[in-house]
Amino acid sequence: MLKYDEHNKYHRFIRTVLITAVSLIAFVCLWWVVSKIANNAAIPEPFETFEALIDLVCNGDPVTGLSLTTYVVSSLSKFLRGFLLALAIALPIGLILGNFKRVRAFVNPWIEVLRPIAPIAWAPIFILLFGYIQGATFVVFIGIFFPLLTNIIFGVTKIDKVLIDASKTLGASNMQIFLKVLIPSTVPYLMNGIKVGLGIGWMCIVAAELYATPLGGIGFYVANMITYGAFPQAYAGIIVIAVLGLLTTGLAEYISRRVSRRMGMDV
């Protein structure tokens, strides 16, 4: 008989996989029980849903005829554009705000007013301004921008002052300190911001697509299926969303951990 060994890497891995599998099976059973008790079309049974999922993967959207790949690519490309835009804008602004106390004091009220607004609240406005596709991109942008910005500002203000002192006694100018000390020491905080931002951004993209993007997007598919009353199909779309979200945040988590280790810091 195999015995479980806490210090064996593979044993630990197998145990994690087993626990996760059992947990997922239990979840599906629970879902089934709930759908039986509720006895409502809006909560389909797991089996129907999986059937619809397989159908979605193989044959695409029965209404529009678009394939799942088209939907996913559409969502991901909007997501990526929103993310890159947020990064490109939050990074310089965060570095400036973190560095200059007075500018920060001046701009802080703006941030505090805008930050708590749910990104999705902007969706109708952005769609009106930029059209369906770019509108969704901007909703993602807003969702990622604030966690990124606040993390960068935090990182800059958290810098170890003695590192700046050391740089000065090694002859560094303010500009050199900014480039060679401040920016690298902010990187782990930036990664943390990206991690948080991606999670929120992913929720935003799907929500923004619920406003119906004619050219696809997985959120649109879900919304459309619900209007047709095709609930198993809608749930299949939700599963796709969940898996993709898990993958994006998992990737971000992995990269962030690698970077932090490489930079010799833990945030």
Partner 1 sequence: MSKSKIKIEGEKYDQERVRADRTDELYKHIPEGETLMSISGLRVVYVTDEKETVAVEDFSLDVKKGEFISIVGPSGCGKTTILRCIAGLLQPTRGKITIGDRECTSPGSDRGMVFQDFALFPWRTVKQNVKFGMEIAKVPKDEAEERAMRYIKAVGLEKFADSRIHELSGGMKQRVGIARTMVMHPAVILMDEPFGALDAQTRNIMQEQLTKIITRSERTILFVTHSVDEALYLSDRVVILTKRPSTIYKIVDVPWNRPRDRANPEFTALRKKILEYLEMQNVMED
Ranges within 181-200 binding partner 1 (CB under 8 A): 181, 184-185, 187
Residues 198, 147: contact at Cβ < 8 Å? Answer: no
Instruction: Work out which of 166, 242, 243, 247 binds partner 1, going by CB under 8 A.
Output: 166
Instruction: Work out which of 80, 210, 239, 263 binds partner 1, going by CB under 8 A.
Output: 263
Residues 43, 208: contact at Cβ < 8 Å? Answer: no
Three-class secondary structure assignment of 234-265 = HHHHHHHHHHHHHHHHHHHHHHHHHHHHHCCC
Residues 64, 227: contact at Cβ < 8 Å? Answer: no
Using CB under 8 A as the binding rule, whether residue 265 contacts partner 1 is answered as yes
Tell the smallest beta-carbon distance from residue 87 to partner 1 (Å). Answer: 20
Distance CA 156, CA 37 (A): 53
Using CB under 8 A as the binding rule, whether residue 158 contacts partner 1 is answered as no
Instruction: Work out which of 32, 34, 165, 255 binds partner 1, going by CB under 8 A.
Output: 165
198: phi then psi, degrees, rounded to nearest 5: -65, -40
Distance CA 66, CA 52 (A): 15
Using CB under 8 A as the binding rule, whether residue 174 contacts partner 1 is answered as yes
CB of 15 or CB of 262, closer to partner 1: 262
Tell the smallest beta-carbon distance from residue 112 to partner 1 (Å). Answer: 27
Tell the smallest beta-carbon distance from residue 156 to partner 1 (Å). Answer: 15
Tell the smallest beta-carbon distance from residue 266 to partner 1 (Å). Answer: 9
Using CB under 8 A as the binding rule, whether residue 99 contacts partner 1 is answered as no
